Structure formats: structure tokens, C-alpha cells
Structure 1
Amino acid sequence: MEKTIIDLIRSFVRDDPGNRLSGNRAPYFDEPLIGFASAADSLFVEYKRIIGPFHHSPAEILPGAKTVISWVLPISRVTRETNRQEEQWPSREWAVTRNSGEAFNSSLRRHLVAWLEEQGHRAVAPQLAPGWRQIDETPIGIASTWSERHAAYAAGLGTFSLNDGLITPRGIAHRLGSVITDLSLAPTPRTSLDYRHNCLWYRQGTCGACIGRCPAGALSFQGHNKSICRDYVYGAAPAAVAEAYGVNQTGCGLCQTRVSCEAMVPASKN
């Protein structure tokens, strides 16, 4: 069944017309990575301590949950190349991917939920569930009741970075999604040595390129200032380019492009 679900997600990303930039018809996202985490994984209990008690466990979202299905949608090379050239605002292609590409991601969530239900299983996409909410003030800054990044980490899809992103085998430039189901699936092993291993700064004290890429000054070697980042991503950037680009949300992603982890796990430097 794991292979069936992997093939289902991959075919939807490959074939659905919603995964296309208008005009040049290039995809928003390349072939996805898919992983599975047990709903009973102790990490989901730890997340209530690490993120906050407001962070929902899989069973709180879906009673009887057995598995969290998580995926990584790598942003296409064409879009990443346009964003590499920017210094202040995201490129048009990046902004459209953040806006319309995320709408496609939600379509993928609904598609997988519907398929699982057709097979006789219960399923829910946490990001689309009525109880999902963003919390502006927590001890760790802005957070939400379900973190797609932390679900992906639990499913063995990557580790965290200096800028709080998730560095996967396909890099840090991506969108993430997940669905919880009562179908029992084999968990994907977590093979990294620790939860920040894929980041060169945390692995060996080198790189830090994302710091210089941040136009808002939200990054330093001490980490990621979520408040500064949010003000830029949801305030300054949309005010500057959203109307010209014809989107509601622009994202930013400068710290995810023109960096060593853009499209891969960077190799250690001697």
C-alpha cells in the first residue's frame, strides 16, 4: 500500500493541470518525496514540549490515527533560477508558486483524503481541518497547531536549518503537505544523525549563506527571527509586488535560493 500511495501522489503532481505556471506551462513542482510516520511516534508527544502544548498530535486531529503521510514538493528549477537573481523581493515565478502552487498543494491534500476514504479509511489533512490555527505569540514565536515541517521530519524527509526550513534530499526550496489516516503504513526510517544534520552551519560551522540572502535581516548565526521574517513576508513583500504579480501572497524564498542547500543536502566542506 505504501507504493500505491507514493505512486498516487507522484502521478497527481506529474499530471494534474493545476501544477503548471501559466504561460510557459512549466510545473510549479518537480517529482515529490513521500514519507510515512507512525501516529504513535513519540516525536508527536515531544512536539508539545518543543513547539507548545497547543500543537496537535495526530490522534487529536483524527481519533484512531495510525499514520501521517507527508510529502515534499520541490520547487522547479526554472522558478528557483529566477529567484536566485533577486536581492530585495521574490521573483514573479516564486510569488506565483507560493500563491497558486500552494492552492495546488491543497488540491493534493484533498485528492489523497478522497482516495483514502474511497478505500474505506478515514483521513484528514491537518492544514485544512477546522481546528487548524496560527498562533502569533508563543515562547518560540509564531507557530501553528500543526507543523508541516515537523511532520516531514518525523517522516524521515529531512532535517532543520539555520533559517528554520527543512533541508531534504531535494533541498530547502519546496512546499510541504501531509494527511493523517487510520490506515497503518510502515514508517520511513529517520537516518540523519541529528535533527539539524543537513545544515552545514550546524554540522560543521560553515556556510551561513542564507543570512546574507535575507533582505529583512531576520537571520543571524543565532537563528531565525520569526517576527521580522513575518513582517517582511506578509507585509513589505506583498505591499511591494503582489499587485504587479497578480497574487495575494508572495512569499520570499531568497534564503532558499542561491544557497548550498537549495536543491540538495550539501556535502561537508574540508
Structure 2
Amino acid sequence: MYEQVVAEISRFVAEDEGNRFADGSAPYFDAPLVGFAAADSPLFRQYQQIIGPFHRTPDQILPGAATVIVWSLPITRSTREANRRENEYPSHAWALTRCFGEDFNISLRRHLVAWLERHGYRAIAPQLDPAWQEYADTPVGVASTWSERHAAYAAGLGTFSLNDALITPRGIAHRLGSVITDLALPPSCSELPEYRSNCLFYRNGTCGACITRCPVGALSRDGHDKSRCKAYVYGTLADLLAERYGTPKPGCGLCQTKVPCEERIPTAV
């Protein structure tokens, strides 16, 4: 079933019309990266200390959970190139990808849940669970009851960056998704790297390119000001660009483009 799950996610990304711009010209996302984490991995208990006690473990979301399936949807080169040219607002293509590409990602979550159920397994997408909740004020800033970035780290898909995003082998410009199931599958990574090892800033003190890419100073050598970032992305930009772009959630992504980790794990600045 390991290969079947990867093949089904990949097929859906390649074939479903939801993964295309409205004019049909190009996809939002390239072929996915897929990883698996054991539902009983100690990491998920540790997240309740690192993120907060409100962060739920896989078995709290789905009793009897065995595996967390996680995927990364890399944003296409043309969209990334368009966003590189911007310094204040996201490009039109990026905003469409953030808004309608995430609608496709929701469809992928639902599709995989239904596919697993047809094969006789129970499954749930934590982001679509009615019990999912976001908290605005926690010791780590804005946080929720399930972090797909942390699930992706547990599945070996990447490590964290200065801007709190995940740097995968295909870079930092992507969308993540996850499904919890009672289907037992072997973990895709037997030994996880240090949780920030893919980021040059944390690896050797170089880079920090994402700091200068942020138009509102939400990034510094001290890390990511989540509140300032959220106010700009979901407040200022949403208000300015909703009508212009036709996207209620345009995103930003400036710190995920025109940086060394945009499309790969960087080896040098």
C-alpha cells in the first residue's frame, strides 16, 4: 500500500483539473513529495510541549491511528519567477495559487480520505476536522491544534527555516497537506536531521535573505514575528488585493522566493 498511496496522490495532482489555473494554461503545483510518519512517534507528544498542550496527537484526532501521510506540493517555476519580481505584494499568479491552489489541496485531502475509506481504512484530514482550531495568542505566537509543517518534519520531508516555513528537497515554496489513517505504513525516514539543518542561517550563520524580502519587517535574526506577518497577509494584503486579484486569501510568499532555499536545500548563499 505504500507505493499505492504515493501513486494515488501523484495521480490526483497530475490529473485533477483543480490543479490548474482557471484558463487551463498551467498547473498550480508540480509533482508532490510524499512522506509517512508513525502516528505513535514521540515527536507528536513533544509537540504538545513545543507548540502547546492544545496541539493534538494523531490518536487524539483518530483513535487507533497508525500513520500520518504528509505531502508537499511544490509551486511551479513560472509562479515562483513572477513572485521573485515583487517586493511589496505577491504576484497575481502567486495569489491565485495561494487561494485556489489551496482549494485544490483541500480537494486532495478529501480525495485521499475517501480513497482510503474505499480500501477499508479509517482516515481523517486534521485541517478539515471540525475540532481544528487556531489560537492567536500562545507562547509561540499564532498556532493551531494541528501543524502540517511539524507533521511534515516528522515524516522526514524537510526542516524548519528562519521564517518558520519548511525547507524540503524541492525548496520552501510549497503547500502542505496531511491525512491520518489507521493503515499501518513504514515511516519514510528512520533518522530525522536536526530540525533546522536545511536553513543556511541556522546551519552556519550565513544567508538571512528572507529577512530583506519581508516588506513589513516581520523577519529578523531573532526569527519570525507571526503576529505582524499575519496582520499583513490576512489583513492589509487581503483588503488591498481581494478585488484586484479576485482572491480573498492572496498570501504573500515574498520570503519564499528570491532566496537560496526557494527550490532546493541550499548549499551556499
Q: TM-score, normalised by structure 2?
A: 0.98
Distance 1:265 1:243 in 2: 36
1:229 aligned residue:
229
1:163 aligned residue:
163
Q: Counterpart of 1:81 in structure 2: which amino acid?
A: E
Q: Is the 8 A contact 1:159 1:192 kept in 2?
A: no
2:108 aligned residue:
108
1:8 aligned residue:
8
Distance 1:176 1:259 in 2: 19
Q: TM-score, normalised by structure 1?
A: 0.98
SS in structure 2 at match of 1:90? coil
Size of the aligned set, in residue pairs, is: 269
Distance 1:174 1:230 in 2: 18
Mind listing any 5+ residue stretches in structure 2 that lack a counterpart? none
Deviations 1:24-71, CA, capped at 9 Å, x for gaps: 521000000000000000000000000000000000000000000000
Q: Which segment is superposed worse, 239-248 or 48-57?
A: 239-248
CA displacement at 1:9 relative to structure 2: 0.3
Matches within 5 A, 1:6-155: 6-23=6-23, 25-155=25-155
Distance 2:191 2:42 in 1: 16
1:183 aligned residue:
183
Distance 1:59 1:208 in 2: 37
Q: Is the 8 A contact 1:157 1:168 kept in 2?
A: yes
SS in structure 1 at match of 2:252? coil
1:260 aligned residue:
260
CA displacement at 1:190 relative to structure 2: 5.3
SS in structure 2 at match of 1:111? helix
Distance 2:142 2:238 in 1: 19
SS in structure 1 at match of 2:18? coil
CA displacement at 1:192 relative to structure 2: 5.1
CA displacement at 1:191 relative to structure 2: 4.9
Show structure 1 runs of 4+ deviating over 6 A.
none
Superposition RMSD on alpha carbons, in Å? 0.9
Distance 2:158 2:190 in 1: 8
